[in-house]
Structure 1
Amino acid sequence: MKTRIILFAAIAALCASCAKDAEPVSAVPETVELKIDVCEPGTKALVAANDTSDKKFNNVQVFVYNSAQELERSSGVKTTRSGISLSLVPGTKTVWAIVNAPEEITAPSKLADFQVFRSHLSDNSPSSLVMGGTQVINLVTNSNLTVNVKHYASKIVIDKISRKFTDTHYSEIPMTINRIYMSNVAADCDILCMTYPTEWLCKMGELASPPACADLLVDSGIDASLPENGSYNTSHTFYVYPNPITVDKNGGEWGARKTRLILECTYNGKTCYYPVTIPGSSAGVSTLQRNKVYKITELTLKRPGSTEKDSKDPEVSSDSDFSFNIQVSDWETGATYTEQF
């Protein structure tokens, strides 16, 4: 009898030991819902040219990276900007929203690789401009998140062109406005707008045939007479990508340089050009920035233009060439500056 009791006690002790050493069953992580709204940070802009169409929302894609900077979820292409719901494991998330991309984006698995993804100017149209934005959230429970997006493009507007030649001899000769277009345009940018363009369009004013991104960069066939003391009052709008160049070049061989608006005219039977550097020297910053509107309220011509598309040097001697005022504003808030030369 004593032997049986000892045996039962040993078996009980062995069972207890096994129970103590057993590995716990891993619990499946619970998920929570994150509802995402995508919007612009504001709606009020100082410059209203083409304001409705260039803020148009067509589609959005949302990408969520976890604290290990690995892709956790993506939404696919959505045609609504609000209430985009994703099931996620709790934790710190980096949320990216890309609006109006021309096709579905295959996101890389690593956040660092995603953030060097490049957007191309050719992905845009005047009524479908690409926008992007990011937000970080520490997700604990079911939550709502607003991701503010901004245009990658800058908007260039010219409202009025006037002719007031300083030399009466030149003022008697007929003049016609042929076209207006953008030059030295960055063709791409990364989604953080932190690196230099890898491609350029319309280098030094030379347009391809047919012009690349013509609906964004070129207004041709204007054919408007511009008499002395007269003005051309039709507004023109262009869209370009940010240009980080701070040290400008004029003429010579191609090298990265500042973006310009070029007014092409016929004067005395010859083609001449008025290249206007954007943003100019007194903007407070020297680079052409995303989501900004650069509005030339009036461009006043004071002498015949240059024979070179990328240089303002005149064909004839004159004390001054042209003057202009530029207002700079965000698409959503606003600031102004003026420039003259």
Structure 2
Amino acid sequence: MHPGLVAALLAGAAAAAHSSGGGGAAEAFRRNAAVQGWRDEGPVAEGEEVELDFWVKLTHKDALRQALEDVSNPDSPDYGHYLTKEEADALVAPAPEDIATVRRAIRGFDVKEQNKGAILSTTVPVGFANRLLGGKFMRFCRGAGEHRACVLRNPIAEVPSALRDACDVISPLDEPLPPAHPGPIIGRSQSLQLAGEVQGCCFSIGYGALMRPCCLSTQRAGDAGACKVGRRLGGATGYRAGACPQTAEQAADWLAAQEGAGSAASAVGVSTAESHAGDPGLAAGGIAVVGLVAACALASMASFWAWAARWTSEDAGRPFERLNSPRILPGHTIPQLGTAAE
């Protein structure tokens, strides 16, 4: 998701939890955890480390909401003029004083900055995190043996108001527990290591960086040609409107099917010409008709492609850019068009 989109995907749930009071929120969290099979295994040792992500509060939310409405309104002079990533980032950039508040809170630790301070991340001892955010980090686990998975959460946190007011989201405080899935949970560092071994292709629906891309990721794909599909037009003009290939094999199948359709069309044109080979006039007429039809089809496709969804190819072995913002505009939803590489 684009970092310049306003509000937080998790902020609504987080705000509801904070407004309901710490005790009620903690009990609700534990009930929900139990329903999903997560066990509370007690406090985390203060010497262990936890990664904290502070999504600093974005600004000018009303302006971005209006911009999103204008680009979709045919009566607006800005219709179709989507903001670039840079324009969106600049529009909703956090206030310098909010960035300073977060930096003061984690002073003394190495801080990673994304999007010019919109996201600040640091790894700290659990003891420090407990003192900074209030409450205690607990370990919640699910499964057993090789399927055992654990996460750290702090359902009784009482974040100082100045820090809470400076942020849209504080992770992992505001993160829901991961849903049930067959695979193990991996940390961010491990997932980024895996990303270096991933090939894939991404496309965005429509124009501009405000549109959500969906990606085909082919882990350890030996054939870079699996991403050939990524160099063709997609969306409504290509494979399936509103859908993404989920595997390299599916992408190859879709590509083969489309190329096969093109070959079949060519064969029809050839057979039409050949069937009238004995009559030069008919043969020439048939070829002319086929050529005219093909030219009209190409012209129509070209004009349609001018606004249709576009595919962009990612270099083999290069990890996808992580569009890692859980923020969306309140009242709007981002279409789920497949899977985005993490």
Instruction: Work out whether the TM-score is over 0.5.
Output: no
Calculate the TM-score normalised by the size of structure 1: 0.20
Which structure would you say has the larger Rg?
Answer: 1
More helix by share: 2
More strand by share: 1
Q: Which has the higher contact order (CA 8 A, sep 6+)?
A: 2
Calculate the TM-score normalised by the size of structure 2: 0.20
